[in-house]
Structure 1
Amino acid sequence: MKYLKIYTLLLAAILVSACSDDDEVVFNTNEATVNMQETEMTVKENAGLCLVPVVVTGERNGAIQVTISVSQSGNSPATEDENYIVTTKTLLIPIGIDVANFEFRTVDDEDVNADRTFDITITEVKHASIGTNNKLSVTIKDNDADYYEKLAGTWIFTAKANGITVMGQEVAFSVKVNTAAGDAYGTYLVCSNQNGFDPEPEPFKWTFNWRLKYEYDAANQKIYVSIVIEEGEKVATDPAYDNYFIQFKRMALDGTTSDVYRGEYDDATKTITFEGNANLVGNMYHNETPNGTKFRLSNCKMARIK
């Protein structure tokens, strides 16, 4: 927090000094108005740098200067320099620029809290007038209560693998996990890795793209993160062998079937442990025809590293 604040203050000083040489600035003398582009904004706690556009209207013949202030609002107010940091509160807007941006940076903490709110208000405009839309209400949404977003990152997948010629080989590989887009957001996570699952990939250089299904059991306070098993879904391909691909299959020791290879997430250890009574199988296909089992994994786990 300390170094982030120092950085933003230094940046603000540079911006102000760059805009403070009034000897070369021609200021506006015509009728012009400054408004917030929007009156409401919602950002995530981990959003980082956020832009606050102000819009200038009217026929100008010079620059104008705009100053903002921030204030707490709502039942769970955000605190400046603790929950967010404003880069600069004064902008010099030259002629020919109709939209300029103030900036603030959100501070991502590890605490579960209510969404926080604050207001940004245009308090002073020199060489123009303040319009009616002079206030922006900002909501900073907490990202710690919802584990879905916290699952995005880099993980290490470990398992005991059986291949075509190897038995019981320990495998460990990196997996990139991202949140999904559109309607899949909040339900599925998108994963990618190279080779990895296959203990003996040659001659293939597999690129794996697969999905995790996210489920939160509120009654029992359990988080399930499971590998999606969907018939017909290609999870691995190799451009050099475009008529070959791999599909996942769950092979249960007790004969049960499921559309997921179930895993349970432990937030304390940042680990997903997959079910022990089933194996994760990779079946290879050639020209849409089954071409045997390429690998079978047991004792599967995922551990987040960043």
Structure 2
Amino acid sequence: MKYVKLFALAAGAFMLTACSDDNDFNSASDVTVEMAKSEITVKENAGTFNVPVKVTGDPNGPVKVKIVVEASASNPALPFEEKEGKWSGNYIITSETINIPADEKTANVEISTVDDLEENPDRSFTIRIESAEGATIGSAATTVVILKDNDSVPYEKVQGTWNFSFNDYDGNPASWTMTIGGYDEGSKEYGNELYLSGLLGYQNELSLKFYNDEATGECYIEMELPEPFMWYNESYLIYALNGMSTAPGAIRGTFSEDLKTITFDPEATIVYYVAAQDISDALGVYDLSSNMSMTRQ
């Protein structure tokens, strides 16, 4: 996956650079290009985010901007790249060349974070406009990007991509790639609620309760079932049940000490049940997951 992603990014960079060859750049005077923000802070599990670039003036043609990334003096964030056969780093930049059409006043440097799953001090790097065609570089030529560590907070550390292994309805081993997501700091759900996406191999959301007992150090999630999580057709939903019962019940998953694995009771089973919004009107069992475990990817 990493190789595919990086190849796609490289191809995108080539396309962005090449498309400007057929255009005449802005020739109007008093057109400047700058970074729109002096500093941006994101969590290291943020995924993809944008750093804005702005154009002032009235250009009569496109503006091409070349940016460079500079490491900070203390605890610098590093680009995600291969060294001696091993991939490591903290961020990926989609392209260092930004083409801004004449009728646009803003553009973005697209960046993706790479979560290291380890506690560490916040890291940072600087994006600087190195050159511009069709504009002069203004005084605000840099943005400092701070990657805020999230791994000291269990609620945030458990968010990300997981491998969900189980036995299906026929008892055959199977697995899905799942995502545990959370809510923004300051919201009422933060620290208490999560959601699980990827059941049955589709994009959907199943609610999770999150518990972190600081006294015992135990950290776990609970699925409060039954809960509908996706449509089967126009009339019926797929519910997650606790076993073969439609009665309320919870399935608990307990995190390992390093928060990289989740174990479930060996007897726990999620049954995927097709029923109408009135759950008593049902078509029956679609599939199930037993002998479940989850491992962080």
TM-score normalised over the length of structure 2: 0.62
Question: C-alpha separation between the residues in 1 aligned to 2:47 and 2:230?
Answer: 34
Q: Secondary structure at the match of 2:159?
A: helix
> Within the alignment, does 1:99 sit opposite 2:101 as a pair?
no
Please tell me the residue identity of whatever aligns with 1:45. E
| Post-superposition offset of 1:54 | 1.2
Q: How far apart in 2 are the matches of 1:16 and 1:72?
A: 24
Counterpart residue number, 1:153: 162
Distance 1:227 1:153 in 2: 16
Kindly provide the CA deviation profile for residues 26-65 of structure 1, in whole angstroms up to 9, marking residues without a partner as x: 4423211223233333344355554333111212233434
Is residue 55 from structure 1 mapped to residue 54 from structure 2 by the alignment? yes
User: Quick one: structure 1 residues 224 and 41, their matched pair in 2 at CA, closer, same or farther if it must change by over 3 Å?
Assistant: same
After superposition, the C-alpha distances for 1:224-263 in whole angstroms (9 at most, x for unaligned) are 1223369xx66899768869978659x9xxxxxx985443
**Aligned-partner Cα distance in 2 for 1:235–1:6:** 34
Aligned 8 A contact 1:235 1:247 in 2: no
Contact 2:43–2:149 at 8 Å: present in 1 too? yes
Find the aligned partners of 2:279 and 2:4 in 1 and give their Cα distance.
Answer: 56
Residues 217 and 75 from structure 1, CA distance in 2 versus in 1: closer, same or farther, beyond 3 angstroms?
farther
In the alignment, does 2:218 pair up with 1:226? no
Secondary structure of 2:75's counterpart equals: coil
- The CA deviation at 1:18 is 4.2
**3-state DSSP class of the match of 1:29?**
coil
SS of residue matched to 2:17: helix
Residue 149 of structure 1: CA displacement?
0.4
Q: Does 1:131 align with 2:138?
A: yes
Q: Contact (CA 8 Å) 1:236, 1:247: kept in 2 or not?
A: no
Q: 1: distance between equivalents of 2:24 and 2:97? A: 15
Cα distance in 1 between the residues matched to 2:197 and 2:47:
24
Q: Which runs of 5+ in 2 are unaligned?
A: 81-88
Secondary structure at 1:16 match in 2: helix
Give the CA deviation at 1:138: 1.1
DSSP-derived class of the 1:19 partner: helix
8 Å Cα contact 2:33/2:137 also seen in 1: yes
Q: Which moved more, 1:11-20 or 1:240-249?
A: 240-249
Residue in 1 that maps onto 2:29: 30
SS of alignment partner, residue 158 of structure 2: helix
TM-score (norm 1): 0.61
**Distance in 2 between the 1:15 and 1:245 partners?**
45
Distance 1:94 1:234 in 2: 45
Post-superposition offset of 1:136: 1.7
Distance 2:291 2:65 in 1: 57
* Alignment of 1:188 onto 2:194: yes
Q: Does 1:264 align with 2:263?
A: no
CA deviation map 1:147-206 (0-9, x unaligned)? 3204x43413469x9xxxxxxx96877574542456435433336646xxxxxxxxxxxx
Distance 1:178 1:216 in 2: 16
How far apart, CA to CA, are the structure 2 residues paired with 1:87 and 1:237? 35
Q: What stretches of structure 1 of length at least 5 have no aligned partner?
A: 162-168, 195-207, 252-257
Query: Partners of 1:14 and 1:243 in 2: how far apart?
Result: 43
Equivalence for 1:179: 181
Counterpart of 1:164 in structure 2 is: none
Q: 2:122 aligns with which of 93, 115, 128?
A: 115
Residue number in structure 2 paired with 1:216: 212
Q: What is the DSSP-based 3-state SS (H/G/I as helix, E as strand, rest coil) of the residue aligned with 2:102? A: coil
The alignment yields a C-alpha RMSD, in angstroms, of 5.1
Match of 2:85 in 1: none
Greater Rg by CA: 1
